[in-house]
Structure 1
Amino acid sequence: MNSLRLNGLRKLPPGFRFQPTEEELVFQYLKCKAFSFPLPASIIPDLNICNFDPWDLPGELGEERYFFSMKEAKYKTGNRINRATASGYWKATGSDKQIISRRNQVAGMRKTLVFHMGKPPHGLRTDWIMHEYRLVNVPNNDFNLANNPMMQASLCI
């Protein structure tokens, strides 16, 4: 698939839409990335999303954006993930949703995160929402797939 580059990011040609299902995100992209298999299309960039505030992330505001992001430990000896940015932090909300394959197997999870301005636990909740996808039952899985860091009012599900 031919794609154009804009500000270092791949952009699909006019008329093409990248609207994968959750199953496709987990099985066709995240799983391939975790096991170093070729991706169906190389249009999801690698980006440490915690180096950016949500409004500074590359891509068009109001459109869904996808990023592969390496997990970064909050503490050297712990399992907690660092989700802090320069202006705030991403906080998990609700319970994780299972991503089920056509064979009724759980292979991934979706976590919903809301951006809070300031420092925990007194941060102010904003309208920025992100979905984080991760594989389950995969040893040494260092990748997450982040989707949809955009304003809640623009979120289309």
Structure 2
Amino acid sequence: MAIDSSSSSTSLAPGFRFHPTDEELVRYYLRRKICGKPFRFDAISEIDIYKAEAWDLPGKSRLKTRDLEWYFFSMLDKKYGNGSKTNRATGRGYWKTTGKDRAVYHRSQIVGMKKTLVYHIGRAPRGERTNWVMHEYRLIDEELAKAGIVQDSFSVFWSKMEH
């Protein structure tokens, strides 16, 4: 019988926290996911991030902690089949990008990009802003690019609710 690891949850021992840096999210977790390598500690759920409303994300997290932060892997949904624009609409709202993309560095080399999104209820452009924030990370890896490995097949997301 196969076990669906995407639905299993993990509780960390008291005192332990899962707080990877931006660099760790990109260089370890996202790179391993894209390359199909296993994790020592499987802390990040794989979901279709834009099929879930912001308030449903905590229940989809593999980690069950008191922290108001959740991590996910997701494939990006392109708005148009051959385009680069991402469809960030959910059933009841949408994730709106804010600010400019920021580089994630390892030493002085760019290894990824980070985009910040805020959840809005309703439809653009009249949606109502909420306190739900998400950061989308994508990998930039010259070695994988030279090997012909597609790097935008997955992104890693860090979601939180701000007070």
Using the size of structure 1 for normalisation, the TM-score is 0.84
Q: Secondary structure at the match of 2:46?
A: coil
Matched, 1:152 2:162: yes
- Report the equivalent of 2:38: 38
Percent identity, aligned pairs only, is 44
For residue 139 of structure 2, the aligned residue among 135, 138, 146 is 135
Question: Post-superposition shift, 1:70?
Answer: 0.7
Q: Work out whether residues 69 and 161 of structure 2, in 8 Å CA contact, stay in contact via their aligned partners in 1.
A: no
What is aligned with 1:124? 128
Per-residue CA deviations over 1:95-134 (Å, capped at 9, x if unaligned) read 11110002x1101011000011111122111111101111
1:21 aligns with 2:21: yes
Residue 73, structure 1, aligned to residue 88, structure 2: no
Let me know the Cα RMSD of the aligned residues: 1.9
Q: Could you list the runs of 5+ residues in structure 2 that have no partner in the other structure?
A: none
The size of the alignment, in residue pairs, is 146
Gaps of at least 5 residues in structure 1 are none
Q: Give the aligned residue type for 2:150.
A: N
The answer to whether 1:10 aligns with 2:10 is yes
CA offset at residue 13 of structure 1? 2.9
